[in-house]
Structure 1
Amino acid sequence: MSEALNAGRPVVALESTLLAHGLPRPDNRAAADDVEAAVRAGGAVPATIAVLDGVPHVGLTADEVDRVCADPGLAKLGVRDLPVAAALGLSGATTVSSTALLAAAAGIGVFATGGLGGVHRQSVDTFDESADLTALSRTSLVVVCAGVKSILDVPATLERLESLSVTVVGYRTTTFPGFYVADSGSTVDWSVADPTEAARVFAARRDLAAGAVVVANPLPLDEQLDPDLHDRVIAGALAAAEDAGVRGKAVTPFVLDHLHRASEGATLAVNVRLVLRNAELAGQIAAALAGVTR
């Protein structure tokens, strides 16, 4: 990976929490290869990030990907957890916040993920807000995503991103996607028409101030989850989490597992599709960014 960066080749960072906690085994291992292949199809080098035995790894070997995908006890590491893992020699999968931090530290300018974390519903009472938001306000890179996870309060999350001065653009749309569905019901002020425009926006942002550019990439309508099914299974999953007393970072994996079972695998298939689309677009933006910055 260092050779690619030193040679000025376009590189795209990928999180490992998707593999360790977001997709069921053994589907996660095949998805890991497919996502890296999608980045290559976009014209860039993939760099899946994880912490193994206390050491951050930016770009994993096949054996290291096997380890991340196979270990059911692998920790979930946000930015706050990285010092503990490093000091105690622990291993873990990186979230959006920690992946962004490690990617930027390695000199990677583009990151592909599924959906961002954000402000949870009932946050007025729980104060439950993802560390992704503040991390992106401090980290300079492009993040390609399909919006924020459907279990969140989307309007509140967009308000927080605005307050934190994170630049948000839609990819060929001003409709903000809702992860499994193309339309969350919210809009954004700006859009970009192609990867080169996204790269130019980031280059301009980087010259002005630290902070991320979020490129929200909605699924095509014929690839999204049926909206009626989406609303039904999301409501059921959130109710199940409430009944089970699930709180904090345990909510997302609990809800994703419930969604997979309640939708008979439909949410899993959509999740994989949107990650692959984001990875390919991120590869294209990274390739365009290499041209913009030369």
Structure 2
Amino acid sequence: MKIEYSSKVKAAMDNGKPVVALESTIISHGFPYPENIALANEMEAVIEAEGAVPATIAIIDGVIKCGLEEAELKKLASSGDVMKCSVRDLPLVISEGKTGATTVASTSFIAAKAGIKVFATGGIGGVHRAEEGGNGFDISADLLELSRTPVAVVAAGAKSILDLPATMEVLESYSVPVIGYETDEFPAFHCRTSGLKLPASAGDMDALGKMVAAHFDMELPSGLLVCNPIPHENAMSEEEVEGLIKAAQEEAINAGVKGAAMTPYILGALNRLSGGKTSEVNHALALNNGKVAAKLAAILG
């Protein structure tokens, strides 16, 4: 599989410096232009401040990129014709020379192929609530990819709009270690808590590094989910978020939204209904995850 590296990422990998992978869907589909470029630059700055090198992953004109140059980032952020790519979509986008943004699943896949062990994102996908559109469970490909790709994914848990207990059950069934960083409770993206107890937790970075290193040393086939809750000062309450989710779900059902379109629709509705607050939370937790991922990458060496 051909991967093109930016000059900065190539130099880091040649010299054994820690590298942190970043997804690109948050740029193309998560925030409007030019706010998305500002966030991408902030993410890179946070990671570099901790001594690691950021590697944003995307498909540009049919080429897998590991680390984006300035012109490539601008194209991804400002173009209206960027496909959201999970793993199954990669051959199509590459063969047709298109531009695509990577999800948690496809970023993990490419990062592993590139030899990058740590990946920072906002929140993973998971099991959708059964009542969404009345069409039963929709399970994100992120969970399957976590089960078969050896990368440590640092995230603020799973998105609040999902069925979190079912998501945890699937992760357990897939033998994916779920570790809380300075928490023993599964974080719910916008919220620090969910009421779900985690199977493992690390009280500091040294402890987390040892857990993750042991996983890689055993050459287990799965990845790991490192749950890093949003900082206290940026968190929303469970009651506030649940009220917003119910209103957004009603809108989605009335609009006939189903399947893969459900998550982006509801996230957009949440942002509108909250007066932009959920977008601010998303921004804050992404930066916090980048910081923790960089520290983890540095300690792993």
TM-score, normalised relative to structure 2: 0.93
Of the structure 1 ranges 222-231 and 161-170, higher mean CA displacement relative to structure 2 is found in 222-231
Cross-structure match for 1:24: 32
Report Cα offsets for 1:164-221 as digits up to 9, x if no partner. Answer: 0000010111111010010022120210122232222122112321111111011233
Of 54, 67, 86 in structure 1, the residue corresponding to residue 62 of structure 2 is 54
Letter in 1 for 2:18: P
Cross-structure match for 1:5: 13
SS in 1 for 2:192: strand
SS in 1 for 2:195: strand
Cross-structure match for 1:168: 178
Aligned length: 290
**Aligned residue runs from structure 1 range 66-215, under 5 A:** 66-122=74-130, 125-208=135-218, 209-215=220-226
Cross-structure match for 1:273: 284
Of the structure 1 ranges 67-76 and 7-16, higher mean CA displacement relative to structure 2 is found in 67-76
Report Cα offsets for 1:98-143 as digits up to 9, x if no partner. Answer: 0000011001000000000001111895341000001011111111
Q: Distance in 2 between matches of 1:121 and 1:231?
A: 13
Cross-structure match for 1:252: 263
Of 20, 39, 43 in structure 2, the residue corresponding to residue 35 of structure 1 is 43
Report Cα offsets for 1:59-107 as digits up to 9, x if no partner. Answer: 0011111111101221000000001111111111000000000011001
Letter in 2 for 1:34: E
The alpha-carbon deviation at position 278 of structure 1 amounts to 0.2
For structure 2, the residue ranges without an aligned partner over 5 or more in a row are 1-8
Q: Distance in 2 between matches of 1:197 and 1:58?
A: 29
Of the structure 1 ranges 122-131 and 262-271, higher mean CA displacement relative to structure 2 is found in 122-131
The alpha-carbon deviation at position 150 of structure 1 amounts to 0.8
Of the structure 1 ranges 205-214 and 268-277, higher mean CA displacement relative to structure 2 is found in 205-214
Q: Distance in 2 between matches of 1:3 and 1:128?
A: 41
For structure 1, the residue ranges without an aligned partner over 5 or more in a row are none
Q: Distance in 1 between matches of 2:81 and 2:195?
A: 37
Please give the root-mean-square deviation of Cα atoms over the aligned residues, in Å: 1.3
Identity, % of aligned pairs?
47
Of the structure 1 ranges 119-128 and 2-11, higher mean CA displacement relative to structure 2 is found in 119-128
Q: Distance in 2 between matches of 1:131 and 1:49?
A: 18
Q: Distance in 1 between matches of 2:20 and 2:231?
A: 23
